Homo-oligomer: A and B are copies of this chain.
Amino acid sequence: MVGNFTGKQFVIACFGESHGRCVGVTIDGCPAGLPLSEIDIQRELDKRIPPIPEIVSGRREKDIVEILSGIFNGFTTGAPICTLVWNREAIPSEYDLVKDKPRPGHADYPARIKYGGFSDYRGGGRFSGRITVAFVMAGAIAKKLLGFFDIEVFAYTIEIGRVKLDETLSLEEIRKNTYKTAVRCPNLKRADEMEQSILKAKKEGDSVGGIVECIAINVPTGVGEPIFDSLDADVAKMLFNVPAVKGVEFGAGFKAARLKGSQNNDPYVIRDEKIVTLTNNAGGILGGLSSGMPILVRAAIKPTSSISKEQKTVKLSQMEETVIRVKGRHDPCIVPKAVPVIESVVALVLADHMLRAGLIPRVLKGRK
C-alpha cells in the first residue's frame, strides 16, 4: 500500500480512477511566487489529444482542469496545489463482462489478487492509462517551475511499429514539429510512416508499440542524490510508473554494453569557456549526477494490451480456460499519448531534484 505519492521536495499525491468521479493530484513543495493558472495546465493536458482521431481511441477526453487550492492572486502560495479533471464519458457497463476474465497484458489479474476483489475494475480503474492525466497536470507545474530556471524538457516519438527515426534531430525541429504530427514524431516523413503503421494494426484488430525519447536541456551540473536517489534512478523509476513502459536507457544505453571504454567515455573539452563533453554517451548523467550535458533518455512502450483479436484467458470463478475479445474504444497505439506523459514525469523528477540540490529557492521573486 501507500504507493500513490512520490517525490521528496516536490511531492505529488495522486487520486482517482478511470471511471470514478475524477482524476486528481496534489502537489506539495512548489515554491511560493510562481505565476500559475489553469491555462498553464490546460495547455499540457491538451497535448494528450492527437489531431487525427483515427489513431487514438474514440473516447475523446475533453479534460478541463480545475485548480482547487494553492493559488492566490495568480501565484503559488507555498500551500499544496490540488488540481483535478472530472470524468465525463465514463460508460462503466461495458466493462462488467471482463470482470471475471482477466485481459492479457493488463493488471486485471494481479490487481484482483492484491485487493481481494475490492478494486475498481471498470476500465482498469486505478491501473488505467487515464491516471496519467494526473502526471500531466503535475508535470505542467513542474515545467513552469523549471522554465523559471531556463530548463526545458522535450519528449517525442522515435519509433512506432518498427518504423524507426534514424535521422538526427535538431532541437529546433523538435520544438517546431513534435506536436504538428499525430504521432508526435518531429520528422514529418517518418511520422507519416508511423501513422500508416498504426492504421494498419488497427485494421487488423491489433496494436503496435514504440519508443519515446526525452531530452532535458540547461540542467545545471551536480543535480541528483547518490547513492540511492541518483538522477537517472529517479527518472527511470518514474518512467516505469508510466503504464506500458518496459525498458529505459540513458545516452548510449544498451548500446554502451557493446562499446569499448575508449569509445563510450565522453572526453572533456572546453567550448565557449565552458566544460563540455565531445560526445554524450552518458546521456548527461555521471555517477547519478547531471553532468551539465543534456539529459537524454529513451523509454520502450509496449503495444496496447487491449486488442479486438481473440486471446486466451481464464474464467476465474470457474478456473477454466476461455477466450476474450476486448471490446470498447482502444488506442491501436498509445505512444502518441505517452509523449506528453513522459515529458511530464521527467519534468517532475527534475523539479524535485533541483529543489533537493538547493538550486531553487523557497520563494521565487523578481524573475520573469
Contacts and interface: CB of A to CB of B under 8 A. Distances in A.
In which size bucket is the chain A interface? 35 or more
A344 interface: no
Given A79-B119, A286-B107, A314-B275, A201 B260 contact: yes
A183 interface: no
Contact of A270 (B78, B104, B292, B314): B314
Given A228-B241, A265-B307, A126 B278 contact: no
Contacts of A221: 109-110, 113-114
Interface stretch (A37-45, A186-194, A244-252): A244-252
A29 to B, nearest CB: 4
Interface string A231-264: 0111011111101001111111110111111111
Contacts of A264: 105, 209, 302-303
A206 B127 CA distance: 46
Contact of A228 (B3, B104, B268, B314): B3
18 contacts: A1-B356, A3-B28, A4-B26, A4-B80, A11-B13, A14-B228, A26-B26, A72-B119, A107-B287, A109-B221, A109-B268, A131-B227, A209-B256, A209-B261, A211-B257, A240-B288, A247-B247, A262-B307
A178 to B, nearest CB: 19
A16 B306 CA distance: 38
A321 interface: yes
A280 B167 CA distance: 33
* 10 closest A-B pairs by CB: A107-B287, A3-B225, A114-B222, A247-B249, A207-B261, A116-B363, A267-B312, A3-B229, A6-B228, A110-B289
